[in-house]
Structure 1
Amino acid sequence: MAGPAEPAGSTAGRAPGQRTIVLVATVVSLAGVLLIGLGLSGIVGGDPEPVASVRHESTAPAGGLPLTDVPLSKVAEPMRAARPTAVYIPSIGVAAPLMELGLDAGGAIENPPFDPPNQAGWYRYGPVPGQRGAAVITGHLDTRTGPAVFARLKNVKRGDQVQVVRADRSVAVFVVDKVEHTPKRRFPAKKVYASLSYPGLRLVTCGGAFDRRAHSYEDNTIVYAHLAAPYYPGG
């Protein structure tokens, strides 16, 4: 679903090769530390045929980590390293587990499974969400039977929160800076995999019209965000 990937600079151990990234997504529920999370997907050779008149159901619990006293517009200092385990986007009802994504034999980000449809993925050769650099999470838009984890990603707005639960029970709380819709043939790899001086996050899925001849969506939806509030249980 995404476009060709490029190195993310010194913050990424390895970067995917020049090849089309394919994504899609679904929403499911899961409990987490004060926050709920689940999550993402990755890349595939072609997208499934879109399903007409499928009703999107979300079992994600309402609410999230209460951060009303935190200045969310400020870029926070990097967090210590901890493997991401779930992603939660309250504004669109996403609560999904995260799997790790590496590289396939062709040098592109490896394919995530279509089943379960709520599965999202974190590119493990890039930065860890919460640390300095552009962490990348991908998820499918849909499957052959219905919507997937990032089915509503295009509805995310500037200022929305993206919460990433990590293995040490900490939560990296990001705030969305912008949402971009771009043709796959002009995938902005340098921006997505940029070497940032601050902790950033990119969420990527498919979008636009479905090309039945190519069996692929024509565009990508990309969300750009910055770390606004690191949360550690117990203070």
Structure 2
Amino acid sequence: MSLRVAERPPARGDVADASRSGGHRLILALAGVITLGGVLLIWFGLSGIVGGEHEAAPVATAGPVTGVPLSKMAKPMAAARPTAVYIPSIGIAAPLTELGLDALGAIQNPPLDAPNLAGWYRYGPVPGQRGAAVITGHLDTRSGPAVFARLKEVKRGDQVQVLRADRSVAVFVVDKVEHTPKSRFPAKKVYGKLRYPGLRLVTCGGAFDRQAHSYRDNTIVYAHLAAPYYPKN
């Protein structure tokens, strides 16, 4: 089941990537987005969950980070590859894979054969750095619910925590949740330039169009960085 819908290229934002330039023109094809809210204190590589060409991502084995003082707007963090995402309020915890561009210049979809896998758009900002970092995930697959099946239940003030390769955690707080037709996808709001570290989680929603084999809407979560967490050990 394809969850893509073509969009005009987003405005080029102030992107900061750990290893690649963000100066690519995109024809956006959005699938679902994976949102995970919880930070793991102990983690190791999880093998075999992705399969094929997709690299396994390290995930935490403990619960979310708790008791971290939050601010209205935290300063940007240094670059570090995101490895997992957690949303404690809806029980989401998932590894992250990197997403690039397909042959048509659209954002790749996370693999359908790994329903609990979310994807980070690697040509955009790293979560925690200045700019709008984007994580996507499927709503469902032919076999059942996928990683972002409950994303529409997220509320303003909920936390989204992104575990990173240096064991730091970028703790985001949700500003709003938007439901919009795919025909009017707000590309500038999702991918546009930001002066602060932001996060966007995207998945499908609304009614299912059987002829197009796709959902008609998108669910989009907007969040800002409220605290960086660095483990002591």
Change (3 A) 1:14 1:108: farther
Task: Write the letter of the residue equivalent to 1:227.
Answer: L
Task: Write the letter of the residue equivalent to 1:182.
Answer: T
Q: CA deviation at 1:118?
A: 0.3
**Cross-structure match for 1:224:** 222
2:31 is equivalent to residue 22 of structure 1 = yes
2:62 is equivalent to residue 32 of structure 1 = no
CA distance in 2, matches of 1:31, 1:88: 6
Where 2:188 maps in the other structure, the secondary structure is: helix
2:175 is equivalent to residue 173 of structure 1 = no
Gaps of 5+ in 2: 17-21, 51-59
**Cross-structure match for 2:199:** 201
Where 1:190 maps in the other structure, the secondary structure is: helix
Q: CA RMSD in A?
A: 2.8
The aligned length equals 211
Give the alignment's TM-score, normalised by structure 1: 0.81
**Cross-structure match for 1:160:** 158
Where 2:115 maps in the other structure, the secondary structure is: coil
Give the alignment's TM-score, normalised by structure 2: 0.82
Deviations along 1:77-105, one digit per CA (max 9) or x if unpaired, are 00011000000000111110000000111
**Cross-structure match for 2:19:** none
Where 2:145 maps in the other structure, the secondary structure is: coil
Name whichever structure is richer in strand by fraction: 2
2:209 is equivalent to residue 211 of structure 1 = yes
Aligned mate of 2:15, from 7, 11, 31: 11
Gaps of 5+ in 1: 42-59
Q: CA deviation at 1:11?
A: 1.3
CA distance in 1, matches of 2:86, 2:96: 10
**Cross-structure match for 1:83:** 81
CA contact (8 A) 1:184 1:219 kept: yes
Where 1:80 maps in the other structure, the secondary structure is: coil
Q: Percent identity?
A: 72
CA distance in 1, matches of 2:34, 2:229: 26
Aligned mate of 1:139, from 134, 137, 153: 137
CA distance in 2, matches of 1:31, 1:193: 25
